Structure 1
Amino acid sequence: HIITEGIIKNPACNLIAQNTTLGWVISGVVDNEDKERSKVINVLHAQVDKEDDILKRFWELEEQTSTKQILTPEEKACEEFYSLTTRRDESGRYIVRLPFRKENTLCISGNSRVIAEKRFKSLEKRLGNNKELKEKYVEVIQEYLSLGHMRPIAKDDMKKDKAFYLPHQAVVRDDKTTTKVRVVFNASQKNSNGVSLNDNLMVGPKLQADLRHTILRWRLYPIALVADIIKMYRQVRIAEGDAMFQRILWRDCPEKEIVDYELTTVTFGTASAPYQAVRTLHQVAFDEGDNYPLAKDKVLNCYYMDDLMTGCYEVDQGLEIYTQITELLGKGGFKLQKWNSNNQELIKEIKEMENEKDQGQLYINRTNKDIIYMDNIDKVKEISHEEVKEVEIKIDSTIKILGLTWNRSQDTFQYLVNLPPLTTAPATKRSIISNIARLFDPLGWIAPSIVLAKVFIQKLWLTGVSWDEELNVELVKEWIDYREQLSLLTDVRIPRWIGTTLNQKLELHGFSDASKTAYSAVIYLRTIDLEGKIHVTLIVAKTRVAPVKQISIPRLELCGAVLLSQLLIETANILSIPKDQIKAWTDSTVVLAWINDHPSRWKTFVANRTSEILTNMKASQWFHVSTKDNPADCASRGIPPKSLLTCDLWFSGPSFLKKDNISYNRPNNLDKLNVDLEECVKSYVTVVPNNSIFERYSTLKKLMKVVAYCRRFLKNNKIYRGMYLQKVELDAALECCIRQTQKEIFTKEYTQLQDKGYLQIKSSVLKSLCPYLDNKGIIRVRGRLEKAQLSEQTKHPIVLPRCSPVTRLIIVDAHVKTLHGGLQLMIIFLRTAYWIIGIRNLAKHHIYKCVKCAKQRANINNQFMGSLPSVRCTPARPFLHSGVDYAGPINLRTTKGRGHRSYKGYICLFICMVTRALHLEVVSDMNTQAFLAAFRRFVSRRRHCAKLWSDNGTTFVGAARELQELVSIQPSIAEHLESNGTEWHFIPPHSPNFGGLWEAGVKSTKFHLKRVIGDSTLTFEEMTTLLTQVEACLNSRPMSVIHVAGPGEALPLTPGHFLIGEPLLNIPDNQFESSGLNHLSRWQFVQRMVQSFWKRWSNEYLSNLMNRYKWSCQVPEPSVGDIVLIKEDNLPPSRWMLGRILHKHPGSDNITRVVTVRTKSNTIKRPTSKICILPIT
């Protein structure tokens, strides 16, 4: 029945529009060919070395610290992915998967071949214009094919939608004499969806070792040994399923057809390539290293990317390293080349072994002073061993201006300063920073000269000049003087070997210093051989520019000490030197004082840094050195390159390090230096204890008697001895207490009244009262009632403060004398003799605290109305969740006519908690059997009841004896019901508001019975009939507000709708026996009608239960331990029982409405609306 009348045909496009109950539906045959709707725009992006990029790399190298790497969640996922998916082929070579961030990658849904094809055709045009470039480019691609690193794609595989094509281009390296042309694959090229392959790949954690650490380990060995891996990336294969993401297009001639290829190895240019290559190198060591323990350590610790920098103590050990590393890496398909060493014998042996294996040879760059560049891609001509003089360590093949040169014959490091020649162009911040950023000093060996460049950069920033703005004459002159000396740094020679041998004693000595421009740290290694010879070598140094915000020199010295402690621990770990062989030196006695005391003594700046220092090292490892012997002073102040060449203090360390016995000095009285002590702010609060005797008494009468007896004793009055206290004595005692109180509280006022007779203190609370002292020394009010016909005591009342024990006792006494009078009566009574400051609040407070008054008030607070239980607002069939209550007693007659006798009967009311439908039963007694019989009649007609709620207290209307009997039988009834699957719940005792639903049902039932029966007595049968009619009336009442219904509108919803589908008092409908509805349609109609009832129940009835028509404010909750009165409806408050709250029972909203109270006889539960909290603490 979905399709309806209405159809539209369009022969031109073979489409048909069909009308349905859901709307118009279009169907037909459409063109299934993919059409390229997006426009592809080619953008040429040239990657150049920006000045800010070079500067960033410069600062990253300068700021390197040895902190433990914490893997990000993505890096952990990448590592786990590698471990789960990496495998090896038959030859032992490793096969890895591309680590996609998600399984359904975004890059596979776009078109990348069209972009790659356009890029390739653009490359062809470039190659066509340069014949030499084309020949070399074709040669590289042919090498890929011949080595199996690239393969053509079968036609069946070319239709894969998930494939990704990588554009490639030629990169010309003029600084290379061999591999001038490289093929670069661009995995960052975005496809038609704007997503690249690299966008979807995890980069992985950084695994390559720190360059500084690698060089430091290399310096340990007298015999150096270097090599690199041939085509390291391309020795790791990519899994068959992932090769389609590395497709390229190629043809060596424009006349040929373009062929699709797949790169089958890890490709340089993909985001994950560095991680996969280095991780695989480590995996070879993990898998095969047990058989090659010496090589395993070298592979894990002595490689920087593909360059091996290690060494040995003897030639045989070097040959063993060569053999093990060659075999170990060969297990994974890696081959090494360009072996070199400073030892002639070792390199000759390796050369012979290489020739025997017919493997890689040594190569040389003849055009650059016989320097060999250790690059795993370059191929240069073979030479004899004698021609090799120097080997350059290239850190990053893209940073062609940075390098550190190792002179093999001298076994020393030397610097390359490749700066562009000076021009006549004006000096700008851009040009100067571009030159400074090219200085390469990873281990800080020329730090005294480099720090001058750092300070100069800070000066440039402070001037505020723009990047291309010409500098002032002074800055230009300073820069030119410094730049001209930079070329002299090429004459610096640093020994590669630091003089370490086996069985030597090694000590690390670090020095720190600071100036107003920078602070520094430098470390020297002191070695003592078996013959006692001492050798001192510069190891590493680090400098920092002082912050722009000026801080004191001692604090900068402390920053230098922190830098030194970090550098010492890092170096000691690399060189495997015990911590107890570390010594730290500073020329600042203030820093030593800070370090030798607990950090908590100092201000935050000092405390944080001393805490870090003491975490790294012990205070006993710090010593004092004079400024002239402190080599760190050279780096903190800076030395021009010209002077650095002759600075022995910097390159060789202080002279005392070369002595047999070093004097470890510490200044005396370090504990007496109090620079930068932590400021300790102390607050003092003066508390005057109230030890007044007046606090000891609870009534004014008792206080007066005690004071009177004391006065009698002091006066030794024999006249009144043995007699009871006279009124005169009691009045004098009260006046004494009042006078003492006024002196304590109104001290300033009392003194001024004594001295001057009048008050001049404007801020005094007594100013408006015009106080004066009477002849007894008591402050009284001089008001405006001098001429009134009142007593002198009333015209001039005594002034009393609000916060005094005497005032409190006078108010208590007045409350008792007025027979617990109200507020106005107490104020009038007190005003006849006293003027109490703030009398209204004091009197009101006492009345509230009076227990007797509280008992008579018996204030009962109804707690905030709680939310409806779930059974009240969740749809369920009628009477599945019900409440039960008794009404009565009612008189029933035994027979009709005269001569009958009556007996008591009861009405048992069952009410549905959801629909408020009622079920009424007449019961003849209140015992267990009578209730069970009524309950069976109820469930037989209304189906099973899952949960039943009832009262548990005085809600039963009847005699006390019958009530107690019903309460006693309820547990046995509940047990019977639970055995039949009905769960009985009791509301708290004496809590009719918890059972308001059935209380309202009882009220409605009585409403009809009183008007129908009156004083008549009915038989059991007649009462049953009448209750059934009353039940029908009550179940026909509207459940919500009645609105005037127009013709055709639905009648108000009643409980009868949920019982029989309509109100029980409705007029019968016409007969529909001849209607054509089948059984299924009739069942569907009934179900739809029931569902509409529940929909109306939610919309019309449930929404009316939203409001809280009373108890809408939350009142203070009772506390455990409060003394309460337990309300009894039939007794006055004065006879209510006392109790103490033991437990609170908060509801789901955390508001307490029921408490457990302990009385003198038992423990009971009561709602908070049935207790009165007394003001007793």
Structure 2
Amino acid sequence: MPDARNDDNVQLGGDTRIEKTLGLQIPRCISPGHTEGELHVFVDASEKSYAAAVYWRIKLSEHESAVSLIAGKARVAPLKVISIPRLELQAALLGARLASSVLTEIELNVTRKIFWTDSRTVLSWIRSDPRSFKLFVAHRLAELEEHTTVKCWRWVPTKLNVADDATRDPPTHFDETHRWFHGPDFLRKSEDEWPQETVESERPTGEERSCTTLTLVNEEDSQVVPNVSRFSSWTRLLRSMARVLQAIDLFRVKRKVNALKQKRTANKTSSDPTWKHISKKAHTPAQKDNRKLDKNDRHPLSLNCDYIRRAETLLLLEAQKCFERETTLLREGKAVTRRSRLRKFAMEIDENGVLRLKGRIKAGKDGSFTLNRPAVLSGDSSIAKLIVRHYHVRNYEKSPTNVNGAKLTEVCRKYRLRRVICLPNAYVITNPPSRVRGFSTQYGGSAPRRSLLAEVVEGVPPTLVPAGRGDPICRAPAEGDIVLIVDPSSPRYSWPRGRIKKTYPGPDNQVRVVDVETTGGVLRRPISKIVVLVSAEATAVPCPEV
């Protein structure tokens, strides 16, 4: 009790303000002659307390209504100092709980319920996703969603908020005519005269949850390619890679759906199909058993060809990391160095970044893309070894008696392996396949120690790829060059000499055949059979006078 010596309004018999409340007469009937009405809840908070008041509104005519107080409740603010927005949220939760209690006890038909607050911060929190805030705000917003909806909340100015009276000192004149018992004046008017919320820019309140994402990227495994050394089958590796890509696409779709849920606003919540009311009712044991799927009822997602092609492309890029220098030079439009293993081959990079051979066979219309432009792989790659083993086993099952040429044909139709590789229980392939060492197959017996070329070149299109182009550092022969014509049957000093009269570039603008004018006439020779002595640019420069 306050000290009587320091307060003139306090008498020995008690507080005069308390004595004035003894004569208050509040009517018990809140809805005379009406069985339905509206429930209006006002909430507010201050540094000392927070309160809520519930009013019953009935329509007497089109432009006149009656408002009565049903219940009110106030609580003292905690001793621990918290921010005013948090106290305003506590008041909103207090009003939601109080309205829920009134609805369970009242026997009248409630047409609608409206909650009023003068805190724009609380309104912005209610219209946002609770998961985007800290625990204090998130937990209370989650409980508010159980009792109310977003469209039930409206804004009211502080001067018209009757709950503000309960958070301040008691007024001097407090009787039956006070607005605490009859609600604000605008409730007795038509809805067009109710306060309207003005649009203001939202500001950070400090209650937003800061999400820090730490991503660790390994430069060696920057892609989504699994560890190849853990696979012993090319088919399993390929399908596992495809499943990883399929899972990534599913996660991206789920992330977009979650992003749409977080964009709920006051204007689109009514038409938002992603908004669902979450009920905390516990499931019965029978319902839990029904939710469990039987193993026979589970149907995994099908794996289409698009994921298989994407997986194969990523695995080829992983196997071609040993050719990063050559790929960089080709992207810059430069020729590979003399020390490169691929210096004798014409290569290009496709739209997916895969390094492929470039030959004249791609002009054919009957061959497939991989047949005309096989990918380049290194024999040291683990992926290349899995590919070779895969075709070796598959072709042995088809024709165990003639497996050598068939398995090489299958590999060469899609891939071009560089350098000699010797796999245990597999076979040896060279590029070009000119000399082969003996090997033992996986199914017993020994293969003949002879070249596989005789078994493969007969009717095998892959042997047409690639076409050797000589030293890539030198320029292509041009008209006017003085050349020697190579004749293996005669010594070099007797090779005929002449001048290039005409060149024949192919569809890829590469010169492979030329006409050489000699003393014996015009001879047509491939560029592999000529040696440039003096270029046309050098012959055009006049000799200096002595």
- Give the TM-score taking structure 2 as reference length: 0.39
- Give the TM-score taking structure 1 as reference length: 0.19
Highest CA radius of gyration, 1 or 2? 1
